[in-house]
Amino acid sequence: MTDRALAVVRAGALTTVQDGGRPGHAHLGVPRSGALDARAAHLANRLVGNNEGAAVLETTLDGCALRPRCAVVTVVGGAPCAVAVDGRPVAWGAPVRVPAGALLEVGRAVRGVRSYVAFTGGIFVHPVLGSRSTDLLSGLGPEPLTVGAVLPLGEPCGPPGRVDGALPWCAPPAELVLRIRLGPRDDWFTRQAIGLLTGPGYRVSSASNRIGLRTEGPPLERAVARELPSEGMVLGAVQVPPDGRPVVFLADHPTTGGYPVVGVVDGRDLAAAAQAVPGTPVRFTPVL
């Protein structure tokens, strides 16, 4: 008799369990966490018949390989990549049936950074503070995937979705446009620095991760040199560390920080930030 679980055959560079995250615990120093590209995770879940908040796998750049112990329906979405079952190519971005014991291979992203792998019933690891998400900053939730790990699956809660025509998967950005509301510490920077921030000079740094999207480009000059007491940080905050290069806080960001925040990115733009490869041009666009 098969059980509802899957075994990790290849873990990939960084594959984690993610769901909608654990909002509401910032006062305890706990970040929200959750899928960086929430739109992709939600769509993958809908296509396998899960609710949008079910836990999925989030891969980074080079995918993973998994062997379900029971027959499942899976969808691989987010960053486009090759998908195969027992060496046979199957559809990306659409429901695929995987027999018990077959090898599901999620390949290297050909565009973008993060692919999302949803299974009927969702990944059913034990929740912590209401979420099954891996939080790389606080260490809450399950560890990133390792070879030989076994992940339980939940019971199916609905039939897989039908695919009629093109699906609304968002393409990874050729240019990352981030709408930003300036403040609360934009007055800690010179007028020239604000001009640089909203100019064309920034690119995504290879040092980016789930905590923050780091940028390469001209440093922002401070108008106020004194130290700033630690204050609360929100998702999308654009913090400027001592090197002067902006960092956009993502899902695993710290809940407090002592460097000035020059602005906050519109949350609707953060999914695109999750898929921006190193070297992608970044343009901050001020909004009122």
- Give one DSSP letter per residue of 189-253, joined into a string: B-HHHHHHHTSS-EEE-TT--SSEEEEESPPPPBS--S----EE--TTEEE--TT---EEE-TT-
Q: 199 and 129, same structural domain?
A: no
- How many folded domains does the chain comprise? 2
Chain-centroid distance of CA 16 in Å reads: 10
Q: 185 and 120, same structural domain?
A: no
pTM, full prediction: 0.96
Q: How many CB atoms lie within 10 A of CB 24?
A: 11
pLDDT tens-digit profile, the chain (288 residues):
459 999 999 999 999 999 999 999 999 999 999 999 999 999 999 999 999 999 999 999 999 999 999 999 999 999 999 999 999 999 999 999 999 999 999 999 999 999 999 999 999 999 999 999 999 999 999 999 999 999 999 999 888 876 665 668 988 999 999 999 999 999 999 999 999 999 999 999 999 999 999 999 999 999 999 989 999 999 999 999 999 999 999 999 999 999 999 999 999 999 999 999 999 999 999 998
Domain end marker among 109, 137, 152 = 152
CATH of the domain at 185: 2.40.100.10
Q: What is the dihedral of CA 193, 195, 196, 197, to 10 degrees?
A: 90
Does some domain include residue 231? Answer: yes
Does some domain include residue 29? Answer: yes
Does some domain include residue 144? Answer: yes
| Residues spanned by the domain of 41 | 5-152
Does some domain include residue 171? Answer: no
Burial of 200 (0-12, 13-18, 19+ CB in 10 A): exposed
Q: 218 and 139, same structural domain?
A: no
Does some domain include residue 159? Answer: no
d(C-alpha 20, C-alpha 37), whole Å: 10
d(C-alpha 264, C-alpha 184), whole Å: 9
Residue type for position 70: C
Does some domain include residue 167? Answer: no
Q: 193 and 138, same structural domain?
A: no
Q: How many CB atoms lie within 10 A of CB 279?
A: 10
Q: 15 and 142, same structural domain?
A: yes
